[in-house]
Structure 1
Amino acid sequence: MKGNRIRRMKWIWLMAALLLAGCAPKGQSAEESGGETGSCRQISQEEAMRMMEQDDGHIIVDVRRQEEYDSGHIPGAILIPNESIGSTQPEELPDLQQIILIYCRSGNRSKQAAQKLADIGYANIYEFGGINTWPGETVTEDILAEP
């Protein structure tokens, strides 16, 4: 009985380490970084929703392809496809200190994009997985408020 509990705890820790490894910087394990680098952190979608309610100058980045973005995205999100992020700073993200909330369809591309942005030097990246499980609102076009 006690052996099963220990095995289960080891399994949980192993899964947590694997899950957090996507945001660990190169050469550093998720355990060493505590699941968080100085620049990239994985958060829950609920936490992302709470952050979106704040007026803190954050930006929401969708890293899917244009046709995926057009079929539905989080209100206010800008499109920067993962494939377009290289080793230089994207012009849509001029401030390396800005809070960036980043997502894709399922969470794979957003992890890749978050790591690429961290490697460029962005300091406040929050990756929250994919829109396929997003509990909040989505839109097919952004409606700008009139002055």
Structure 2
Amino acid sequence: MKRIVFLILAMLLVLTGCGGTTVESSYQQITQEEAKEMMDTQEVVILDVREQDEFDAGHIPGAVLLPVGTITEDTAAAVIDDLDTVVLVYCRSGNRSKTASQALADLGYTNVYEFGGINSWPYEIEE
């Protein structure tokens, strides 16, 4: 009986030790002030993930449009050519930018920063 209990415990230890660890890809959330500083001091891709009509009504200068619902490996690669590029993501209020940032991180982009929405952007907007 002791031998069976010992074997069962040993097997449980071996099986639980075989579980792999998963690395969860993620993005960083930053303030709009930090995003503006990054825009002013380094090479970045500013990614607007709203819809075309919203982008046309006003966007951050230098931003490129990639609506959140269209993000795939191919569409992302068309506007962000390197997985290590610094990508600053925004939308209108901050909801879609979080979804888009996680989608980019899941695709393997390593320097994704989400900074909320243009509705509270205190800096220049281009129309």
Q: Which residue of 1 aligns with 2:90?
A: 103
Q: What does residue range 74-113 of structure 1 map to in structure 2 within 5 Å?
A: 74-86=60-72, 88-89=73-74, 90=76, 91-113=78-100
1:137 is aligned to: 124
1:102 CA drift (Å)? 0.5
Residue correspondences, number: 104
After superposition, give the CA deviation of every residue in 1:88-122 in whole Å (9 maximum; x if it has no partner): 14211111000000100000000000000000000
1:47-86 CA deviation, whole Å, 9 max, x = no partner? 11111111x2211000000000000000000001101103
Which 5+ residue runs of structure 1 have no aligned equivalent?
1-26, 29-36, 141-147
User: CA offsets, 1:16-70, max 9 Å, x none?
Assistant: xxxxxxxxxxx88xxxxxxxx765100000111111111x221100000000000
Distance (whole Å) between structure 2 residues aligned to residue 69 and residue 43 of structure 1: 21
> Which runs of structure 2 are paired with 1:109-128 in the superposition (5 Å)?
109-128=96-115
2:48 equivalent in structure 1: 62
Which protein has the larger Cα radius of gyration, Structure 1 or Structure 2?
Answer: 2
Aligned partners of 2:34 and 2:70: how far apart in 1?
27
Partner of 2:6: none
Percent identity between the two aligned chains: 53
4+ long deviations beyond 3 Å:
none
Question: Higher helix proportion, which one?
Answer: 2
Cα RMSD (Å): 1.7
With normalisation by structure 2, the TM-score equals 0.77
Give the TM-score taking structure 1 as reference length. 0.67
Please give the alpha-carbon distance, in whole angstroms, between the structure 1 residues aligned to 2:119 and 2:62.
17
